[in-house]
Structure 1
């Protein structure tokens, strides 16, 4: 391929093609997305998400963007945590905005029910339908590796955050030891696509998801990308030995 390309699993594709390909993956898996997360991780993803919500520490009156929020797993956590603080201290309702590129994922989330603080909309992480400096926090969980231009999505996150706003990104990453890396590779490539075939009748989508994890930048490289997008005090915390990582930064 000549000219710029985008990654789609282990393939390099024309950037204009990636959104359609990714949308197809999530159209196919939306109805079983949460079940598959439990099966693939043995429920550990819930502990990772709880840790992200605790780090965010949502407060009454805050505007929180849950980008690539899909079925609302994270947004529900944020809304409930902010409400518990509100019950003790008072204040205005938090506003948690789920924005996801895939309408099927949004529909699956709405079907599960929500919280009064949550709004749902379809939108592109690279071109958020929001004004500048409108949010106190931006969170993206297991979504940024699916965007066509990761740097553009990071710049958009910075644009919509107020000065001092928090950026949090939970994503699959690179295991910290060779032994864990080998074990994780064996599990990912042999087991996860097979689970997808059994549960969703779709091996190819989960093959893509495994491959997309391997193409995602390592922890330090991603920190550098966050800094280049305009964030300060950027860093990361490994979960489960680096199988996933929480990256963070502050709008400065």
Structure 2
């Protein structure tokens, strides 16, 4: 299995990410033209982790996304269901408490985290509603969620150019820099099929989150959603 299909069978998605773990961070940097570093800085600001807070970083991959939270003095749990990603992360960051876990069946008790976040991983979960409910379950009352995910540009001409890049330019670039370019064809397709910004906000509300808001980054290429668990 070299790539997952859009029905997002968990074993297919995990296997696909296992296969790209070694070069995943570098490949993302190249394919996003360096924008992923800016996006992750915005995530760190939105989460606003503080010393001694407990933060769940879901779909953390190799743990690179967790590092900004650790620098604040928060206790961060990077969690991912790709064992290949976690093994690579353990080589790079042996001190991180990397944890294997399925987004729809998280291995944590109720209300344990002050903040939960997931970047560029929610669209790869088979049951989006189930994942949002699980994030809600493991967050304390008054706690917060931050979701950073590829979305849809709001300006029509730019949207057309962006979609052309996804389906025409991205695969050749991926072939040059990735160990599994077919995986990035799936990732492009999954971006195109992902809900619009307002629809994801509605799913958050449906899962029990309140004060739902979002803002677009890079013209809507990425959307940053925030919400709070009611007291």
Q: TM-score range by the shorter chain?
A: over 0.9
Match of 2:82 in 1: 102
Aligned to 1:163: 141
2:16 maps to which of 10, 25, 34 = 25
Equivalent residue for 2:50, pick from 42, 59, 68: 59
Please list the CA deviations of residues 207-236 of structure 1 after superposition, one character each: whole Å capped at 9, or x if unmatched: 000000111110000000000000000011
- Deviation for aligned residue 1:74: 1.8
TM-score, reference length from structure 1: 0.87
Whole-Å separation in 1 of the counterparts to 2:178 and 2:210: 41
2:212 to 225, 229, 234: 234
The RMSD of aligned alpha carbons is 1.3
Deviations 1:141-168 (Å, cap 9, x if unpaired)? 0000001100000000000000010100
Stretch moving more, 225-234 or 191-200? 191-200
Closer, same or farther: CA 201–160 of 1 in aligned 2, 3 Å: closer
1:79 corresponding residue in structure 2: 70
| 1:123-202 → structure 2 map (5 Å cutoff) | 123-202=101-180
Any unmatched runs of 5+ in structure 1?
A: 1-7, 84-93
> Residue 186 of structure 2 corresponds to which residue in structure 1?
208
* Aligned-residue offset at 1:58: 0.9
CA 1:236–1:33: 2 relative to 1, 3 Å: same
Give SS of 2:98's match. strand
For the 8 Å contact 2:31–2:174, the answer to whether it is kept is no
Query: 1:4 is matched with which residue?
Result: none
Does the 8 Å CA contact 2:19/2:179 hold for their aligned counterparts? Answer: no
Residue 163 of structure 1 aligns to a residue in which SS? strand
Distance (Å, rounded) in 2 between the aligned partners of 1:20 and 1:194: 26
Larger-Rg structure: 1
Shift of 1:107: 1.3
Equivalenced residues, count: 227
Matched, 1:111 2:102: no
The equivalent of 1:45 in structure 2 is 36
Deviation at 1:201, TM superposition (A): 4.1
Unaligned runs of 5+ in 2: none
